[in-house]
Amino acid sequence: MTDGSNIVTIRDIDVPFWRIVMILVKWSIAAIPAMIILMLLAGILGALVAAVLALVGLQMPEVPTPPAP
């Protein structure tokens, strides 16, 4: 080891259980606005694709509805 580097080995990480629970709760709460933003972006992208297809003269395929009972 003449290059001056040291080898470090981590053997244990002691994190309290409730601290991990709080981190997961915060991640869950942060995921809600992220999903809303992603859904809005997907809707805008879908609208743009539909508009481009309409300009080209193509139509979006119709979704078949199930027959009434």
CA distance 22 to 26: 6
Q: Which two tokens stand for residue 26?
A: 């915060």
CA distance 21 to 15: 11
Q: How confident is the model at residue 28 (pLDDT cuts 50, 70, 90)?
A: very high
31-63 pLDDT, tens digit each = 999 999 999 999 999 999 888 888 888 776 788
Map residue 34 onto helix, strand or coil: helix
Residue 9 has pLDDT above 80, yes or no: yes
Spatial contact of 34 and 42, defined as CB atoms under 8 Å apart: no
